[in-house]
Amino acid sequence: MVEEEGFRRYVAHIILWIGIAIVAFPVYLAFVASTQDNAVIANGQMSLLPGGHFFQTYYQTIFVGTSGSTREPVGNMMLNSLIMALLIALGKIAISIISAYAIVYFRFPFRMPIFWIIFITLMLPVEVRIYPTYKIVADLHMLDSYAGLSLPLIASATATLLFRQFFMTVPDELLEASRIDGAGPFRFFWDTLLPLSRTNMAALFVILFILGWNQYLWPLLITTRDDMQTIQIGIRKMITTTDALTEWPIVMATAMLAMLPPVFVVIAMQKLFVRGLVETEK
């Protein structure tokens, strides 16, 4: 890239800073709100500088919860969300990579119809098939369980297609060399294909973890017990209070906490993530 000179460079930087401010200000505001006293916020006198209730608010949020009737500590909600997001992300990767392997490397009857059926499920997200899915989960007695939260969301056409595309770029000679080297289908998958897919899996994990973490509709439907609720549901429940003041500092603290795991995942896997998206060398 050619370095811009003088004035043009400042303009570019100013535009970037404006962009950052637009994205970051609400987050900052949420953080400030989480450190203020609730009465101050209710009065509409919130300052733009952090208040002095940081430790107190966050302690209460994580370990106690709101003072309303549903007193579920946010720490527990985070754990639920984390388990659900991990199950969804890892489950999707495991299922997709195996089905992509079958579709790309094996010749079996109805291979292409099966591929198209998987492809078509792209058009049927949870929202569309919500009633039958709920019925099945309820009949299997999986309401209010981690299995119920994650299983229906695990099948993934997108990830299957992504792995299929990747497998198709792996040279055939690699499979042939493996066959001559005495590696059967399982060994080829485990010893060659999986290590080669490492960066793809990492990229996919980041996307799928965030997708799982942000689930709202499905957990809302199938969790009724407070101790099974995820953080996304929890936040909303905190806001609607019938006969008391909404505890905004706690809501905001919860929102801040809800942001942490995705941010952490992105930062931790950034390098692999980028490599997974751009890498072409095989």
Closest approach, Cβ 22 to another protein, in A, equals 42
Residue 3 is a binding residue for another protein (CB under 8 A)? no
Residue 281 is a binding residue for another protein (CB under 8 A)? yes
The three-state DSSP-derived secondary structure of the chain is: CCCCCHHHHHHHHHHHHHHHHHHHHHHHHHHHHHCCCHHHHHCCCCCCCCCCCHHHHHHHHHHCCCCCCCCCCHHHHHHHHHHHHHHHHHHHHHHHHHHHHHHHHCCCCCHHHHHHHHHHHHHCCCCCCHHHHHHHHHHCCCCCCHHHHHHHHHCCHHHHHHHHHHHHHCCHHHHHHHHHCCCCHHHHHHHHHHHHCHHHHHHHHHHHHHHHHCCCHHHHHHCCCHHHCCHHHHHHHHHCCCCCCCCHHHHHHHHHHHHHHHHHHHHHHHHHHHHHHHCCCC
Looking at beta carbons only, is 193 or 255 nearer to another protein?
Answer: 193
Residue 282 is a binding residue for another protein (CB under 8 A)? yes
Interaction mask 114-153, another protein, x per CB under 8 A: ----------------------------------------
* Candidates 44-52, 100-108, 112-120, 174-182; binding stretch for another protein (CB under 8 A): 174-182
18, 56, 147, 191: residue in contact with another protein (rule CB under 8 A):
191
Residue 9 is a binding residue for another protein (CB under 8 A)? no
Residue 195 is a binding residue for another protein (CB under 8 A)? yes
* Candidates 5-13, 72-80, 113-121, 189-197; binding stretch for another protein (CB under 8 A): 189-197
Residue 177 is a binding residue for another protein (CB under 8 A)? yes
Residue 278 is a binding residue for another protein (CB under 8 A)? no
Looking at beta carbons only, is 3 or 173 nearer to another protein?
Answer: 173
